[in-house]
Amino acid sequence: CGGSLINDRFILTAAHCVEDKQLSIYEAVMGVHNVAKVGNSNPTDLTGEPYGQTSKISRIKVFKNYQSGSMTRNDIALLKLATPVKFTKQVSPVCLPVHQNVYSQAPMDSVVMGWGITETGSPSDVLKEAVLKVINADQCRKESQYPAGQITDEMVCAENPGKDSCQGDSGGPLVVKGTSFYTQLGIVSFGNDCAKPGFPGVYTSVPSFVNYIYTVTRGGMYCKNPNLGQ
């Protein structure tokens, strides 16, 4: 699974990625573009600056009303890092929207990223991204072929013919690119196959849970984007 760093101690991900609460089985890896290099000691970029950072997980906080299965609900979790992250040019927190009416601007271009399954049928070693069009929950219910009741107001959809998040991308971010930062709108949650016509990717809506995130992390959101959603 993927996740996104929201401050120096917390990662935002999908609840279905951490249903097993055994802390010892999880480790966060940050700042690595090629996951084939994970485990190498002190990987460096061309400048010689160390960029790979790892941390054990000290706490898993799954949203109390998370529901798994065919009617997934509230698919969001926060992971507390045992070791605070050192911010570098390769490792920095994503911005979070501070307004919940962000989808009044939909449809808008967004980017999903991860190391999940590609068109070859295998996971990617290097981080991939796809540009998608965000559509709000109302539009998704009207335009998609998902069963009635499956898309809730706490979700958002995104699509682009032939492009989608896929298995292995779960928990990763759906973001809007700014001039010098990314703002996260969604968390990869579920879909019906990958890039299947009539079934856009479904994401947990981050704006719907900003207050929850703020409470769990005790206000530790290091990057807020007050402009998105105004």
Which residues are known catalytic residues?
Answer: 16, 75, 170
Q: Quote the tokens at residue 80.
A: 């507390």
Residues 188/191/194/196 CA torsion (nearest 10 deg): -140
Distance CA 45, CA 112 (A): 24
State the Cα angle at 221 between 215 and 222, rounded to 5°: 160
Distance from C-alpha of 183 to C-alpha of 206, rounded to nearest angstrom: 10
CA angle in degrees (0–180, nearest 5) for 87-88-89: 135
Q: Classify strands 96-97 and 224-225 as parallel, antiparallel or unpaired.
A: parallel
Q: Is 116 helix (H, G, I), strand (E, B) or coil?
A: coil
**Distance of alpha carbon 146 from alpha carbon 151, whole angstroms:** 7
The Cα–Cα gap between 178 and 171 comes to: 21
